[in-house]
Amino acid sequence: MLHFLKCSQHLGPKHEKGIMMKHMTCRQLGGACETEFFAETFEEMAEKSKQHSMAMFQAKDAAHIAAMEPMKALMSDPSGMQQWMNSKRAEFAKLTDE
Ligand SMILES: [Zn+2]
């Protein structure tokens, strides 16, 4: 039983008492699908989104590759990327905790 509880903390999106998890979809983060990411902080959220995008990119998912095109343009300009991050961070901050 204890073992099961330990595992569910890592695998499940549901938060433990006192820990606030927020969720955003891939699409909300500039991606192309409705995959949901759960995270406590925006940094964690951005990282999960990035890993998902990379995986989809490597799987040659056309929708995600197309969605990444404007991101590549953003990334070539550090201030543009910063602005994008700031706007997503603000969106994340406005989310209500599940
Ligand atoms: Zn996606």
pLDDT in tens, 10-57: 555 554 566 779 999 999 999 999 999 999 999 999 999 999 999 999
Name the token pair of 97: 């905790």
Domain for residue 88, yes or no?
Answer: yes
pLDDT in tens, 76-96: 998 998 999 999 999 999 997
- Per-residue confidence at 72, pLDDT binned at 50, 70, 90? confident
Ligand 1 centroid – CA 20 distance (Å)? 23
Ligand 1 centroid – CA 61 distance (Å)? 9
Tell me how many domains the chain contains.
1
Query: What is the per-residue burial (b if ≥16 Cβ within 10 Å, else e) of 44-65?
Result: ebbebbeebbeebeeeebeebe
Report d(CA 69, CA 18) in Å as an integer: 39
Domain for residue 13, yes or no?
Answer: no
User: Position of tokens 């490597």?
Assistant: 58
Domain for residue 74, yes or no?
Answer: yes
Ligand 1 centroid – CA 32 distance (Å)? 5
Domain for residue 69, yes or no?
Answer: yes
Q: Is pTM beyond 0.85 here?
A: no
Ligand 1 centroid – CA 3 distance (Å)? 31
Domain for residue 44, yes or no?
Answer: no
In which element (H, E) is residue 39 found? strand 36-39
